[in-house]
Amino acid sequence: MRDPQHGLGAHLVGIAALTLLLLWPALWWGGPTIYFDSGSYYEAGGEAMNFILDRSGLAELLASGGASAAGPGSGGVAEAPAGVGSGVRSVPYSVYVNLSIRLFGPAGAVVPMALITAWLLWILLAPIRPVPRFGAGSLVVMASTAPFYAAQIMPDIQASWLIAAPLVVMLRGGAPGRALAWALGIAAMAAVLVHYSHIPLAMATGGTLSLWFAMRRRWRAALLVHAPLAAALAINVAISVVIAGVGSTDAPPASRPEAQEDAPTISLAPGRLPVLLARLLEDGPALRFLSETCPENGFAICEVYDRFPESSTAALWGPDSIRNRATPDQMRRISEQEMALALKVLARDPLGQFGASAANTAEQLLRFGLEDLRFAHFRQIGPDEIEIEPVQAPPGMFETVERVQIGALSLAALGLVFFVLYVPGARGPITLLVIGLLANAFVCGALSAPAGRYQGRVIWMAVATALALTGRFPGWWRVGNGPLRSGAARL
């Protein structure tokens, strides 16, 4: 229930203040933090916008002095830009980054994401009264690396939304109210759209919440939980249909026999990088399989290499990377064949691949540092070109923040163990949290490559969950009664 002594204004002020706290690295530096390829989202978004203008006919309307505002190719047959057709992780996020930076500067790309994160943290900590709730939220923010991901031009902080949103529903007894349920669903859908690794994460956390509802015989709610994921996948399929309809610049002519076989297909993750293939190569079993069976096995990757890269970094980002060597049509077929190749490798060497995947998952679970992040200077050159100069953090800055977070996580872990042992109502939310953290570690570690930013973007949810559960005990900081039994607390 809402605190009668504090109106909506107190909550809005609290959320705004938490947003500023989440952005403290950007406020301190004067701009967002970055990952080494943050600029690729801006550039791919610009290419996508050119493509949209061309396909819609708006480029011709916007042309000035005979030159199209959309760039080369306007007025002719639109071709899927390279960034859209192959190698971009998320078309919606790329367009969002491009438009927000062009309209509002680099800060425009991170402020809305930080605001949504602050809102989710605020409602997760209900029913604590606004002033102590802000204190609890500030503790979560300042005792974690979350601000560096909230202030980063990358689709990372959104992964935490896929843990926070179902936690809010569960902590409110599965009855968040219609308006809040819609808002949480939209946030979850957006989180899925911004990065393809969020699809399996949403399946894990959404599936856990769905099972929680099913155990209570709330069948309709158990089904509705999957609506945000289904909507996001439908949007991805629509994007892939547009890309497939245009086709690659080197796609086989319709008159060729192989044209129908090689025709672009719809996808739940259009234009994605072959990160799973890169991971399999570094693990070893796939490298041995391809070296021994190419080119007879029929996989498109055999057309690209005689000698395969032996690390995921080299395969994805090196000068001899798959993206640099393959044609757009080969990139499409390589991505489409990833799962079939993974199954072949698994069947050939199951113990080797399972062992490598388990080791990568364990490494990712415990790796949540800031070593991948940088501060930066930005210079917009054009609608699809930006210059980003990375800058190292001051000596000791990241290490200090990481040590503080380890201390906070240690205390949170003790608190969560206490709740599991002595508060039965807390076991469901804690199970969801653990499944979310494990799923994120598996998706990013076993299917991509372990990196500090992957687990760092979600690990702070352990501290937030511990404080949220603590706030549901009776006390002066609470509003109402029945903390974990009724789950009826509102904003």
Question: Could you read off the pLDDT of 413-462 as tens digits, one per residue?
Answer: 999 999 999 888 899 999 999 999 999 999 998 888 888 999 999 999 99
**Mean pLDDT confidence for 120-146:** 95
Q: Mean pLDDT over all residues of the chain?
A: 84
**Least confidently predicted of 73-77, 171-175, 225-229:** 73-77
The confidence score (pLDDT) of residue 243 equals 67
- More reliable by pLDDT, 260 or 325: 325
Question: What does the pLDDT read at residue 481?
Answer: 40
Mean pLDDT over 291-316 rounds to 84
Range scoring the smallest mean pLDDT among 156-170, 200-214, 232-246: 232-246
Instruction: Name which of 106-110, 235-239, 418-422 the model is least confident about.
Output: 235-239
Number of Cβ within 10 Å of residue 408's Cβ equals 21
Over 80: is that where the pLDDT of 233 sits? yes
Residue 86 pLDDT greater than 50, yes or no: no
pLDDT at 283 over 80: no
56 pLDDT band (50/70/90 cuts)? low
**Residue 95 near residue 242, CB atoms below 8 Å:** no
Nearest to 316 by CA among 298, 296, 338, 294: 338
pLDDT single digits (tens) 372-421: 999 999 999 999 899 999 999 999 999 999 999 999 999 999 999 999 99
Q: How confident is the model at residue 199 (pLDDT cuts 50, 70, 90)?
A: very high
Q: Output the pLDDT for position 58.
A: 63
Please tell me the predicted confidence (pLDDT) of residue 75.
41
**Model confidence band, residue 81 (pLDDT cutoffs 50, 70, 90):** very low
pLDDT-derived band at 252 (thresholds 50, 70, 90) equals very low
What is the percent of the chain where pLDDT is above 70? Answer: 82
Question: How far is CA 296 from its chain centroid?
Answer: 37
pLDDT for position 269? 55
